[in-house]
A and B are shown apart, each in its own frame.
Chain A
Amino acid sequence: MTTETLAKTPLHALHLELGARMVPFAGYDMPVQYPLGVMKEHLHSREAAGLFDVSHMGQIILRGANAAKALESLVPVDIIDLPVGLQRYAMFTDANGGILDDLMVANLGNDTLFLVVNAACKQQDLMHLQEHIASQCHIESCFDRALLALQGPKAVEVLARLAPQVAKMTFMQFAPVRLLGVDCYVSRSGYTGEDGFEISVPAEHAEALARSLLAEPEVQPIGLGARDSLRLEAGLCLYGHDMSTSTTPIEASLLWAISKARRADGARAGGFPGAERIFAQQRDGVASKRVGLLPQERVPVREGAEIVDADGKVIGSVCSGGFGPSLGAPVAMGYVQSAHIALDTPVWAMVRGKRVAMKVAKTPFVPQRYYRG
């Protein structure tokens, strides 16, 4: 069995006990679904609360008076003026403006930054940080910490039973919180488009916390299958699919994530890898861009499907696609040539040799329900 070579999160035994179907993902043996099934897990997360094990993701702490300035040399995001107790979405860019990984950066105060990076990229990200900014700040990988996500409209009610102060947090706030007597980090954020929290907890306390949350009547365990359909409906990018080193933040439609202070006309313009190319693309436009796509038939259109125009000419390809359980219809995202990216433009995907009509559509496909106070 190849699973013996796979890493296990601190909740691995619990997943098996809960009857999860396990799959290899980013080197880990992870739950893709529980007995409830992807469809019901997805819907439950939008109606009540879902608990996700995302401990495979990488947690990294940067410390030092120059940590924010140092990190700014690797991301097109304002870290220096990131307030204490807030987190921000960012991406590591390369010299061509391509995306090495996307990440969350939180300011813990006391010259300490807390990063969450993708599982498949975490070793490479750590080396990237060490290579470029190790002389400017202290870099500590916390890859053994567990990370739980509690997502859905009931998440706040559930977590507030353990720590009432979390109810006052707003979207993207980040705070040290004691849960069941254990020091955790809690952010009001997630990857589903719903209100919710991500909880960083020491590995040895992860199972007790997970069991306690699962004991609440609103909470069901949710696997990677529903995590993917939830994030896709929410229009959120998945690294390695919707963006990569061959796409820039402009091409990936992530200009919103480039902070004003770091743009060509900003107070601290540029100073991150690939800035010239990214600024040139912002000024001159790009050949193709990531857009939302709504198939007009029931057949799901999957990653890799070619996109063609009315004449059958290839104008792009699908980067993520599947069925959106909340929408009750297929949803997709793809890279499409700029002449065809206006909303409602008809395009077609090639699925098993047949053309499937799609429309360029606004993302998110379902309304985001973040708690902004």
Chain B
Amino acid sequence: MSELRFTVDHEWLRQDADGLVTVGITAYAQEALGDVVFVQLPEVQAYAVGEEVAVLESVKAASNIAMPLDGEVVEVNAELEASPELVNQDPLGQGWFFRFRPADASAVAALLDQAAYERLLNANADA
């Protein structure tokens, strides 16, 4: 398991040994969303970066999850259909959304690292 990368949309990505990338949302994002009551997961297919791949519904509102990089979704976390609260309880673990095969494997490392993401959060807090 390698270290996590992040997007400005508060998604985390983990490049696994099999070359696939696991995606979820950060602790900060689940906290901001509030109680998740429904997750609409992506189809198993290719998506372009920025495309809406999933929808998270909290008690009050719906939020879109964008594809973090070009790639093909190969697996979704079906556990979330029955237990969407896993996104709140364990966002970096059991609350993962999907795994995908990136079109360009080196693109993952170019995303924000932990320190850069924390700077982003701090900048948001100061704004």
A interface, CB within 8 angstroms of B: 32-33, 37-40, 42, 225-226, 228-229, 298-300, 302, 322-323, 325, 330, 352
Question: Known contacts A299-B40, A299-B57, A352-B40: does B62 contact A33 (CB below 8 Å)?
Answer: no
Q: What string of 1s and 0s marks CB contacts (under 8 Å) between B18-31 and chain A? A: 00000000000000
In the complex the two chains form, what is the Cα distance from A359 to B10 in whole Å? Answer: 37
The answer to whether the Cβ of B72 comes within 8 Å of any Cβ in the partner chain is no
Of the residues B57, B59, B62, B81, contact of A42 by C-beta under 8 Å? B59
Q: List 29 A-B contacts (CB under 8 A).
A: A33-B34, A38-B34, A38-B59, A38-B60, A39-B35, A39-B37, A42-B59, A225-B34, A225-B60, A226-B59, A228-B60, A229-B60, A298-B81, A298-B84, A299-B40, A299-B57, A300-B38, A300-B62, A302-B61, A302-B62, A322-B60, A323-B37, A323-B38, A323-B57, A325-B59, A330-B37, A330-B38, A352-B40, A352-B55
Q: What string of 1s and 0s marks CB contacts (under 8 Å) between B51-75 and chain A? A: 0000101111110000000000000
In the complex the two chains form, what is the Cα distance from A33 to B34 in whole Å? Answer: 9
Of the residues A39, A228, A300, A325, contact of B57 by C-beta under 8 Å? A300
Shortest distance from the beta carbon of B79 to any chain A beta carbon, whole Å: 13
Hey, which chain A residues are within 8 Å of B62, CB to CB? 300, 302
Shortest distance from the beta carbon of B102 to any chain A beta carbon, whole Å: 25
Among all A-B residue pairs, the 3 with the closest Cβ atoms: A39-B35, A323-B37, A38-B59
Interface size classification for chain B? 10 to 19
In the complex the two chains form, what is the Cα distance from A299 to B59 in whole Å? Answer: 11
| A299-B34 in contact (CB<8A) | no
Hey, which chain B residues are within 8 Å of A40, CB to CB? 35
Shortest distance from the beta carbon of B3 to any chain A beta carbon, whole Å: 30
Hey, which chain A residues are within 8 Å of B55, CB to CB? 352
In the complex the two chains form, what is the Cα distance from A300 to B84 in whole Å? Answer: 13
Which of chain B's residues has its CB closest to A35's CB?
A: B31
In the complex the two chains form, what is the Cα distance from A229 to B34 in whole Å? Answer: 14
Most buried by A among B57, B60, B61: B60
Hey, which chain A residues are within 8 Å of B81, CB to CB? 298
| A39-B59 in contact (CB<8A) | yes
In the complex the two chains form, what is the Cα distance from A37 to B60 in whole Å? Answer: 11
Shortest distance from the beta carbon of B74 to any chain A beta carbon, whole Å: 23
Shortest distance from the beta carbon of B32 to any chain A beta carbon, whole Å: 9
In the complex the two chains form, what is the Cα distance from A307 to B42 in whole Å? Answer: 24
In the complex the two chains form, what is the Cα distance from A322 to B61 in whole Å? Answer: 8
Of the residues A33, A228, A300, contact of B37 by C-beta under 8 Å? A300
Which of chain A's residues has its CB closest to B40's CB?
A: A299
Hey, which chain B residues are within 8 Å of A298, CB to CB? 37-38, 81, 84
Which of chain A's residues has its CB closest to B59's CB?
A: A38
Hey, which chain A residues are within 8 Å of B40, CB to CB? 299, 352
In the complex the two chains form, what is the Cα distance from A32 to B58 in whole Å? Answer: 13
